[in-house]
Structure 1
Amino acid sequence: MFGAVRKAWRSLVGTVGVPENGGRDGHAHNLFEAAAAYVTAYAEDDQERLDEAAGWVSPEALSFGVNELACRAVVALAREHRRPPQDVARALLGLPAAS
């Protein structure tokens, strides 16, 4: 099963495009750099940086990267607070605890 996931991951990463001119500093950005910059800009309400990060990779790749960032953040917070990931995710979204 994990072999299939790794194969799909390699396929996705291999097909994720970056604009030919790369990022603003001339190097190509990967989907995780784009996701981190996008989420940070969104949290800081910086529309210019948000638009820039959104242009680094395809919308599909950005969506995947943001989702991966969210998952990793929930897991890290759950470990830090010794709580189940579901409780942390619900708390971050302002939802009541699951019964």
Structure 2
Amino acid sequence: MFGRIRKLWPTDTTAPERKSTPNLFEAAATYVAASADDDQETIDEARTWVSPEALSFGVSELATRAVIALARERDESPETVARTLLGLPAA
């Protein structure tokens, strides 16, 4: 009986290879890095990974985290860092 069950049960235990879909943070990181490198092909590719709304949210989240990290590194306020990065006068 177990012999018949064993014949029916697949013996290959390796999982099939699947390509994972990039999440919104991967798309945002790729999009921003490609924008910094002026790599239009990669920018266009990253745009196809998620919806425009999700990409916008991811880019916003990345910007927020980057400003916070720079503010801590520079011992400045996030507002000062953001305004400096954008070339705006101090508030």
Normalised by the length of structure 1, the TM-score is 0.73
SS in 2 for 1:55: helix
- The alpha carbon displacement at 1:27 in A equals 1.7
Residue 68 (structure 2) aligned to one of 62, 75, 87: 75
Seq. identity, %: 69
Give unpaired runs (5+ residues) of structure 2.
1-17
SS in 1 for 2:49: coil
RMSD of aligned Cα (Å): 1.1
Residue 46 of structure 1 corresponds to which residue in structure 2? 39
Higher-Rg member (1/2): 2
Does residue 59 in structure 1 map to residue 27 in structure 2? no
Give unpaired runs (5+ residues) of structure 1.
1-24
Residues in 2 aligned to 1:49 and 1:26: alpha-carbon distance in whole angstroms: 18
- The alpha carbon displacement at 1:26 in A equals 2.7
Normalised by the length of structure 2, the TM-score is 0.79
Residue 85 of structure 1 corresponds to which residue in structure 2? 78
Residues in 1 aligned to 2:89 and 2:80: alpha-carbon distance in whole angstroms: 9
Residue 21 of structure 2 corresponds to which residue in structure 1? 28
How many correspondences in the alignment? Answer: 74
Residue 8 of structure 1 corresponds to which residue in structure 2? none
Residues in 1 aligned to 2:19 and 2:42: alpha-carbon distance in whole angstroms: 16
Runs of 4 or more above 4 Å deviation: none
CA deviation vs aligned residue, 1:49-74 (integer Å, no higher than 9, x gap): 00000100000000000000000000
CA deviation vs aligned residue, 1:3-36 (integer Å, no higher than 9, x gap): xxxxxxxxxxxxxxxxxxxxxx932100000000
